[in-house]
Amino acid sequence: MASQTAKTILEEMTIQEKIGQLIQLSGDFFQNGTAAITGPLKEHHLSLETIYTAGSVLGISGAERVRQVQTDFLKHSRLKIPLLFMADVVHGYQTIFPIPLALGATFDPQTMHDTAAVAAKESAAGGVHVTFAPMVDLVRDPRWGRVMESTGEDPYLNSVMAKAAVNGFQGKLPLDANHIAACVKHFAAYGAPEAGREYNTVDISEWRFREQYLPAYAAAIEAESLLVMTSFNTLFGIPATANQKLMRDILRQELDFKGVLISDWDAIGETIAHGVAGNLEAAADLSLKAGVDIDMMSFAYAKYLEKAANLDEHTKLLIDEAVVRILDLKVALGLFEDPYRGLSVEREATTILSSDNLHVAEQAAEKSMVLLKNESVLPLATDAKVALVGPGAHTGDLLGSWSWQGDPQKTSSIYDEFKSRFKSVEYAKGCGFHALNYQELDQAVMIGRDSDVIVAVVGLPSSETGEATSLTQLTLPTEQLTLLKQLAALNKPLITVVLTGRPLDLTAVAAVSSAIVLAWYPGSRGAAALTNILTGEVNPSGKLPMSFPRHVGQVPIYYNHYNTGRPISQTADDDENKYLSKYVDAKSEPLYPFGYGLSYADLAVEQLKVLNPIVNDSQNLQVEVTITNHSTISATTVMQVYSHQLVGQTVRPVKELKYFERLSLAPLETRDILVTLPLTTFRSMQSNLQWQVEDGDYTVMVGLDSDNVLQQPFEIRANNKRGQE
């Protein structure tokens, strides 16, 4: 419902001022605090007058700069409508947290919430009003560089994390000055580009879209994300940004989204290249009709200025609706009361990079790291003689993509942290991320020979993650594999730490390493967190939010796949029967499954009891799980509850995550955990595109990863009535 403020202002606005609100400009249009049109910006034929009617700007931050731009802007704005400042605050502002995929690995919504809250507080102090986050695209193809921005391959995990992120950024509505508006993206299904190639076509059935891809966006919208961003890709044959069915019918009507819909960068203009609009005017018409409120940098909506006097009534009505939504966002941010939201250089200085914030970053990084292999070589004694090698060992490049305000120069490297923790550390680079020279290699081998243990930090540079970084190879670059093989030949414990923003094919790495720690891009305090893990000060607890393939040829590979008509059974029969759904040159299962991650403690799910094996209409499924820590050290792990419906109206995934919980167990503790799952948990998408809980036979499974589970049958007898929402 439109606020009174928005309605009153709308009445006073000229059509030009209204169109201005729909235009988002990049920060280049504001130089030295005032509007400027220089260099290539001239191509867009905007007047200074239009710039001073623009509704929003992206990429400007810093208390002083924002204050200056806003002051100058308001001086020129006839109706004194404040400018909105938006930016990509994806996993931290200046305090950088682990990348979102790593935050997914925490399986801890509280951590997601807390990191988003700190990011909001810091960026609000830096003048940001809206963040283009969270990105909640379901991802199953690690060739796509943007998997790093997502929380992975599971609809339930993504939904829980989406909600936590929105709540962290926005706090409890109405927004206060320490929170910012969230913009969930990229609506929709941007995470499924064909062949993992950036910006490529997405073509999935509506049934699958609704069952697996839509829930995380829906969760973010239910958590009241104030904005949504359109995606670059096509869906159902039409670019998302011009897709009326997607935006009007699904987003606005079904999901009841009332906030601001913004295009991705130039996505309105790109409908021309997609071939559904003949020119920028047509692109604008299609997108406005689809309900896109803000045009980020395609200047298509600016075209309405040229024919402002002759716009038809319907277009004017659509413009009014969009303007009201944008003004309402400004009202929600309190900009009409204080266009600066309490901005000051002092507040910025005390808020940003505070020790509390850095502490949140360190803890998040600790929770996100995944122990993939350990032949009893970890944890390390601090008096061990350590040889530290590898291209990632002595660099501040631990922040990952989308950390534009983070400073790798000021980020301590793993070597820096090791020096303060281990009695004896020798460092040699060994090789570059993609370069090898024999002098460096020899030096690494030399210090390795003279050590008790070798820690090799390998992976991909952070420039190879994020937007526009699709890859066809998922193995470690050959130069780094050469280094690892040379080190392995020394027959010392070889601990491999992997920096990556995507699942890699670690088959060759696992073959030569005694232990593998997946560190992702762990952020500002990542090096300290890793050191805490390696020394055993912190017991690893992260779990994989995406399956790690054995080979790029298996991609897309994900745990919640369907059975097929000829499933493999993981028995000897699989080898004998050629006509099964499998590869002839490789195994079908991943190297490391979804939910996988080891601990230094010996933890086991001992028992799974179904308390009500026949669940009727009015009941929830109740199970009791017994988990034991068989070790004399305390540990944290993630209990994962999956289910499978044996017979459905539509085909059912072999497993679906239904619930998870991080648990801390004292030494030798045995714990019984009661899990209650509402009946709607078991809903499935029917062929008529409606959710339904179906009567029938199900299996419930519990494990500390998706592969190794205990299972029990149960039945639902609820007369097929429940679950429709």
Shorter beta-carbon distance to ligand NOJ: residue 265 or 422: 265
Closest CA to 66 of 89, 82, 47: 82
CA distances from residue 26 to 328, 342, 368, 544, 574 in whole angstroms, order as listed = 22, 23, 34, 36, 56
Beta carbon of residue 128, minimum distance to ligand NOJ (angstroms, whole number): 12
Shorter beta-carbon distance to ligand NOJ: residue 40 or 565: 40
Q: Which H or E element spans position 439?
A: helix 438-449
Shorter beta-carbon distance to ligand NOJ: residue 29 or 698: 29
Residues 6+ away with beta carbon under 8 Å from 696:
645, 646, 647, 648, 715, 716
Please pick, among 154, 264, 295, 705, the residue that the annotation labels catalytic.
Answer: 264
Rounded distance, CA 213 to CA 187, Å? 10
Classify residue 92 by burial, with Cβ atoms within 10 Å: 0-12, 13-18, 19+. buried
Beta carbon of residue 48, minimum distance to ligand NOJ (angstroms, whole number): 24
Residues 640/702, Cβ–Cβ less than 8 Å: yes
Shorter beta-carbon distance to ligand NOJ: residue 402 or 422: 402
* Active-site annotation holds for 256: no
Shorter beta-carbon distance to ligand NOJ: residue 294 or 544: 294
Residues 531/365, Cβ–Cβ less than 8 Å: no
Beta carbon of residue 88, minimum distance to ligand NOJ (angstroms, whole number): 5
Shorter beta-carbon distance to ligand NOJ: residue 227 or 625: 227
Shorter beta-carbon distance to ligand NOJ: residue 58 or 189: 58
- C-alpha 660 chain-centroid distance: 18
Beta carbon of residue 77, minimum distance to ligand NOJ (angstroms, whole number): 24
Q: Where do contacts with ligand NOJ occur on this chain (CB under 6 A)? A: 58, 88, 132, 185, 264-265, 467
Residues 269/299, Cβ–Cβ less than 8 Å: yes
Nearest residue to ligand NOJ, scored by beta-carbon proximity:
132
Shorter beta-carbon distance to ligand NOJ: residue 58 or 638: 58
Beta carbon of residue 200, minimum distance to ligand NOJ (angstroms, whole number): 14
Beta carbon of residue 146, minimum distance to ligand NOJ (angstroms, whole number): 8
Beta carbon of residue 397, minimum distance to ligand NOJ (angstroms, whole number): 21
Read off φ and ψ for residue 287, nearest 5 degrees.
Answer: -75, -40
Beta carbon of residue 241, minimum distance to ligand NOJ (angstroms, whole number): 12
Beta carbon of residue 514, minimum distance to ligand NOJ (angstroms, whole number): 39
Shorter beta-carbon distance to ligand NOJ: residue 88 or 440: 88
- What is the layout of strands, in order, in the sheet containing 603-610? 603-610, 621-629, 670-677
- C-alpha 181 chain-centroid distance: 17
Residues 6+ away with beta carbon under 8 Å from 610:
621, 622, 623, 700, 712, 713, 714
Q: What is the DSSP string of 524-587?
A: TTHHHHHHHHHTTSS------SSPBPSSGGG-S--TT-B--SS---SSTHHHH-SSSSS-SSS-
Q: What is the DSSP string of 247-307?
A: IIIIIIIIS---SEEE--TTTTTHHHHHTS-SSHHHHHHHHHHHT--BEESS-STTHHHHT
Q: Angle 600-602-605 (CA atoms, 0-180°, nearest 5)?
A: 130
Beta carbon of residue 137, minimum distance to ligand NOJ (angstroms, whole number): 10
Rounded distance, CA 485 to CA 444, Å? 12
Shorter beta-carbon distance to ligand NOJ: residue 58 or 157: 58
Read off φ and ψ for residue 345, nearest 5 degrees.
Answer: -65, -35
- Report the amino acid identity of residue 471: L
Q: Which H or E element spans position 510?
A: helix 507-512
Q: What is the DSSP letter of 412?
A: P
Residues 6+ away with beta carbon under 8 Å from 104:
150, 151, 152, 157, 158, 161, 545, 546
Beta carbon of residue 120, minimum distance to ligand NOJ (angstroms, whole number): 16
Q: Which H or E element spans position 617?
A: none
Shorter beta-carbon distance to ligand NOJ: residue 150 or 643: 150
Rounded distance, CA 680 to CA 674, Å? 18
Residues 324/18, Cβ–Cβ less than 8 Å: no
The residues assigned a catalytic role are 264
